[in-house]
């Protein structure tokens, strides 16, 4: 399934993407986190096509992407916490879940039956240029089949969803490499629904300590299914050694030897660098011909929390 053209994001290609979106088609587009599968958020048919293309459960709501804060404020009710977070972290890898405004004009399918809506302003020139050219907010989940590895390169999108999009805009590798942090601001206490590109410590410095969903509270974060982000090969975490026929995802200076293929997320032990390589390296190890992937431990701080969240879900029983 690689039918869709992969286009360099020049003005002509951005205009073509915007026209496709206005026509209700799907477009693969780069953001700073991962590639998105974008559709016109105001069109029920276009949003329904996202769910179909990804084989995504209907109860899992979508993030709506905007090019400026004012556009977000037309879709959801901001409070003072949202004002502060947007001022500090937008454009950037932060998604805020807020009460949906009745007059916002966004398809109710984006909310998947909830009263809230998730909004984010991406820190990627191509993404914002396409939103502006389309002249409407864009719903965009990560551009992977539901449950599989997220895409951080245009080829990843073309390989898995190439038959389902009008085109893919190639913005090169995504600089952040893990999805946005999702924070729910519909309650009195901010709730961290998904660790991501903005570290929890950074958010807490602006709005104070965040709550965490209790185990089993699936309603608040419908997307946080246990198994997710899965490579085709089995994944073993916290490895200190390598077993026969394993490929190795390593981190830091001390790396076990003997793997069929080794990719080191950051030999220097830098978590930001590690996040930027995470999905690309998992894609490559998945296609290495090994029988399984082993991963060494990653520290549980800063972006390490988002990396470990993705690795735990990728390794979860399917």
List residues near Mg ion by CB under 5 A: 142
Task: Based on the shown chain and the rule CB under 6 A, indicate whether residue 118 belongs to the binding site for ligand TXA.
Answer: yes
**φ, ψ dihedrals at 73, nearest 5°:** -70, -20
Task: Based on the shown chain and the rule CB under 6 A, indicate whether residue 180 belongs to the binding site for ligand TXA.
Answer: yes
Task: Based on the shown chain and the rule CB under 6 A, indicate whether residue 63 belongs to the binding site for ligand TXA.
Answer: yes
Contact letters for ligand TXA, residues 135-174 (x by CB under 6 A): -----xxx--------------------------------
Rounded Cα–Cα distance for residues 50 and 64 (Å): 12
Going by C-alpha positions, the residue among 223, 217, 259 that lies closest to residue 242 is: 259
Rounded Cα–Cα distance for residues 273 and 266 (Å): 6
**Which of 293/306 has CB closer to ligand TXA?**
306
Q: Which residues lie across from 301 on neighbouring strands?
A: none
Options 16, 194, 277, 310; binder of ligand TXA; rule CB under 6 A: 194
**Which of 160/262 has CB closer to Mg ion?**
160
**CA angle, 140 then 222 then 151, to 5°:** 40
Dmax (CA) of the chain: 59
Gyration radius of the chain's alpha carbons: 19
Options 2, 84, 111, 288; binder of ligand TXA; rule CB under 6 A: 111
Rounded Cα–Cα distance for residues 42 and 71 (Å): 13
**Stretch near ligand TXA under the rule CB under 6 A, chosen from 7-15, 82-90, 177-185, 263-271:** 177-185
Q: Count the site residues for ligand TXA by CB under 6 A.
A: 31
Rounded Cα–Cα distance for residues 125 and 106 (Å): 23
**Which of 25/118 has CB closer to ligand TXA?**
118
Residues forming contacts to ligand TXA in the complex (CB under 6 A) are: 31, 33-34, 36, 60-63, 93, 95, 97, 111, 114, 116-118, 120, 122, 140-142, 179-180, 182, 184, 193-194, 221-224
């Amino acid at each position: 399934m690689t039918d869709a053209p992969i286009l360099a994001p020049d003005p002509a290609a951005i205009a073509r993407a915007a026209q496709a979106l206005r026509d209700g088609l799907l477009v693969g587009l780069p953001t700073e986190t991962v590639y998105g599968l974008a559709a016109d958020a105001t069109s029920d048919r276009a949003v329904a096509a996202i769910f179909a293309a990804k084989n995504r459960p209907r109860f899992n709501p979508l993030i709506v992407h905007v090019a400026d804060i004012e556009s977000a404020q037309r879709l959801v009710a901001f409070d003072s916490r949202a004002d502060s977070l947007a001022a500090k972290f937008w454009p950037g890898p932060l998604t805020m879940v807020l009460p949906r405004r009745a007059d916002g004009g966004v398809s109710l399918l984006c909310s998947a039956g909830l009263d809230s809506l998730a909004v984010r302003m991406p820190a990627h020139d191509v993404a914002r240029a396409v939103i502006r050219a389309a002249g409407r907010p864009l719903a965009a989940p990560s551009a992977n089949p539901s449950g599989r590895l997220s895409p951080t390169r245009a080829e990843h999108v073309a390989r898995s969803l190439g038959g389902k999009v009008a085109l893919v805009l190639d913005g090169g590798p995504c600089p952040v490499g893990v999805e946005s942090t999702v924070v729910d601001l519909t309650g009195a206490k901010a709730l961290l629904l998904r660790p991501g590109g903005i570290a929890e410590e950074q958010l807490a410095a602006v709005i104070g300590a965040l709550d965490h969903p209790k185990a089993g509270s699936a309603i608040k974060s419908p997307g946080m299914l246990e198994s997710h982000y899965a490579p085709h090969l089995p994944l073993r975490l916290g490895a200190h050694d390598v077993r026969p026929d394993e490929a190795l995802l390593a981190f830091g200076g001390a790396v076990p030897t003997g793997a069929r293929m080794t990719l080191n997320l950051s030999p220097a032990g830098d978590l930001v660098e590690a996040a930027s390589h995470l999905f690309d390296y998992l894609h490559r190890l998945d296609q290495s011909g090994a029988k399984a992937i082993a991963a060494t431990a990653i520290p549980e701080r800063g972006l390490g929390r988002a990396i470990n969240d993705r690795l735990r879900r990728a390794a979860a029983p399917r």
